[in-house]
Amino acid sequence: MVIRTRRQNAFALLDVLAALAVLSGGVFMAMTFFRTEVRELRDTQERLAALLLAQSEVERLYAGTYEAIRVGTNQPLDLSLPAARSVRGALGYLTVVETEPGLKRATIRIAWRSRLDRLRRVELSCTVSREGLGG
């Protein structure tokens, strides 16, 4: 014998809360998806722009003479390219070490702040030789 009372037909508070939690979970997941997607695209763009800035500096070194590449740590770079403006607070540093006579290793670091104020960095290294560059 099945006896149903009026009380059993209504939603309990727990049912409503569970349904709301499931709905909120769905909305939260969708929002997280968008935020992650946007953040990753922005990161990709900034990283690529920074990498090209670093590559430009490598090209500048290759076009100069061996003697013109000064040995030193964290020498500030002048990032005058227009793309530097699209990378927030971009700063460039050059570190040059003479690994052996006639051979220098240059490391270019580009650091910037992401939109979430996190410090980001890319690094490119190259080796230049006196024979290759002259000077």
- Residue among 53, 118, 42 at smallest CA distance from 92: 53
C-alpha distance from residue 122 to each of 46, 49, 100, 107, 132 (Å): 10, 10, 26, 10, 26
For position 81 contacting other proteins by CB under 8 A, the verdict is yes
Q: Which is nearer to other proteins, 21 or 38 (CB)?
A: 38
Minimum distance, C-beta of residue 65 to other proteins, in the bound complex (Å): 7
CA nearest neighbour of 42 among 103, 4, 98, 87: 87
Q: Pick between residue 23 and residue 97 the one whose CB is nearest to other proteins.
A: 23
Residue 85 within binding range of other proteins, rule CB under 8 A: yes
> Which residue in 16, 38, 71, 97 binds other proteins (CB under 8 A)?
38
- Contacts of other proteins in 109-128 (CB under 8 A): 115
Cβ–Cβ under 8 Å, residues 66 and 133:
yes
Q: Quick one: which of 52, 103, 111, 124 contacts other proteins (CB under 8 A)? A: 52
Contacts of residue 103, defined as CB under 8 A and 6 or more positions apart, other chains included, come to: 127, 128, 129, 130
Q: Of 31-39, 91-99, 104-112, 117-125, which part binds other proteins (CB under 8 A)?
A: 31-39
Whether 54 and 126 have beta carbons less than 8 Å apart is answered as no
Q: Interface with other proteins by CB under 8 A: which residues?
A: 1-6, 9, 23, 26-27, 30, 33-34, 37-39, 41-42, 45, 48-49, 52-53, 55-56, 59-60, 62-65, 68, 81-86, 115, 132-133
